[in-house]
């Protein structure tokens, strides 16, 4: 059976792809093709390049997320906050320097041309450059300049690129790990008089891009009774709204695929410190997929 997996964008929630692919590895089931967007491109690309998911699982679980921030070369400029050169070195650790066309598993990922709004598909060329483009969250990462294009996060145009999977796949899975757009409590009334210097905030380090750039994207507003969303929170919610709309539209054109939605509702896109739990959820979802859709056929 030729299995196609489309791994969606979702930042920290996308770490569930590690667990899902680990379940496939344990059953010695090798997908025929993988497509990915943003975090899905990173995890899917690493798998396609031969990186063992059990090894990646252990590495992510034991990763000191404070050290991880060293890969974010913060460089305030009109182009973005994170320059991205160190990120390419980080990607290299998982993929090596390889051409997509040389991968044993058919792989493709997607990015967005910020100048034209056009979807840009990578199915050949540098795997590192392709992933770097696909994960470039707008406004945070400096766009990836590639072949006269300025490329940003693939999730903007195609959050779960199931349409990139080849027609010869016998079964296609669209793994959606993006957040559902709900009424978020962005504007919160402060009832307990907590101030910025509250010691409770110092009790536990919680990694997120908010922490990395907190001195830059601090909350604004002079109204002492209202806490406004910072720039990054607003960007996250805006992208989530767009991705939900795009994905629903894509599904109508790919109604034959199986939609997989791991139970990740309680996790934010920035909850990297919950990596172990997120990976475990992906693993259980992978086992369920194999039992229901693969072994039953």
**pLDDT, tens only, 131-165:** 999 999 887 788 999 999 999 999 999 999 999 99
Burial category of 240 from C-beta neighbours within 10 Å (exposed 0-12, middle 13-18, buried 19 and up) = buried
User: Taking the model in full, what pTM does it have?
Assistant: 0.82
pLDDT band, very low/low/confident/very high, at 186 (cuts 50, 70, 90): very low
Q: Is residue 218 a part of any domain in this protein? A: no
Based on the structure, what is the number of domains in the chain? Answer: 1
Q: Is residue 9 a part of any domain in this protein? A: yes
Q: Is residue 222 a part of any domain in this protein? A: no
Q: Is residue 131 a part of any domain in this protein? A: yes
Active-site annotation holder among 35, 37, 38, 108: 38
CATH code (residue 58): 3.40.1090.10
Q: What is the DSSP string of 63-113?
A: --HHHHGGG--EEEETTEEE--HHHHHHHHHHH-S-BGGG-SSEEEEEEEE
Q: Is residue 149 a part of any domain in this protein? A: yes
Per the annotation, the verdict on 38 as an active-site residue is yes
pLDDT band, very low/low/confident/very high, at 235 (cuts 50, 70, 90): confident
Q: Is residue 56 a part of any domain in this protein? A: yes
Q: Is residue 17 a part of any domain in this protein? A: yes
Active-site annotation holder among 113, 153, 163, 176: 153
CA of residue 60 relative to chain centroid, distance? 14
Per the annotation, the verdict on 153 as an active-site residue is yes
Q: Is residue 204 a part of any domain in this protein? A: no
Give residue 99's domain range.
Answer: 3-183+229-295
């Amino acid at each position: 059976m030729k299995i196609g997996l489309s791994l969606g964008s979702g930042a920290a929630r996308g770490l569930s792809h590690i667990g899902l692919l680990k379940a496939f590895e344990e059953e010695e089931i090798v997908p025929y093709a993988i497509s990915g967007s943003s975090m899905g491109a990173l995890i899917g690309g690493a798998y396609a390049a031969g990186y063992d998911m059990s090894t990646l699982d252990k590495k992510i679980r034991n990763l000191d997320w404070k050290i991880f921030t060293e890969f974010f070369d913060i460089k305030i400029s009109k182009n973005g906050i994170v320059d991205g050169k160190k990120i390419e070195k980080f990607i290299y650790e998982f993929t090596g320097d390889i051409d997509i066309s040389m991968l044993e598993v058919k792989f493709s990922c997607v990015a967005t041309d910020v100048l034209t709004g056009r979807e840009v598909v990578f199915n050949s060329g540098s795997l590192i450059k392709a992933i770097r483009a696909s994960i470039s969250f707008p406004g945070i990462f400096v766009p990836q300049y590639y072949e006269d294009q300025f490329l940003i996060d693939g999730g903007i145009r195609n959050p779960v690129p199931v349409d990139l999977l080849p027609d010869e796949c016998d079964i296609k899975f669209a793994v959606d790990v993006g957040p559902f757009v709900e009424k978020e409590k962005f504007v919160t009334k402060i009832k307990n008089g907590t101030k910025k210097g509250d010691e409770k905030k110092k009790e536990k380090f919680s990694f997120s891009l908010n922490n990395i750039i907190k001195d830059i994207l601090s909350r604004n507003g002079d109204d002492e009774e209202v806490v406004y969303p910072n720039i990054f929170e607003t960007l996250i919610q805006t992208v989530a709204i767009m991705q939900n709309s795009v994905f629903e539209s894509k599904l109508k054109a790919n109604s034959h695929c199986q939609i997989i939605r791991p139970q990740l509702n309680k996790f934010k896109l920035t909850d990297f410190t919950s990596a172990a739990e997120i990976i475990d959820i992906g693993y259980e979802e992978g086992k369920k997929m194999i039992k229901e859709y693969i072994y039953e056929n």
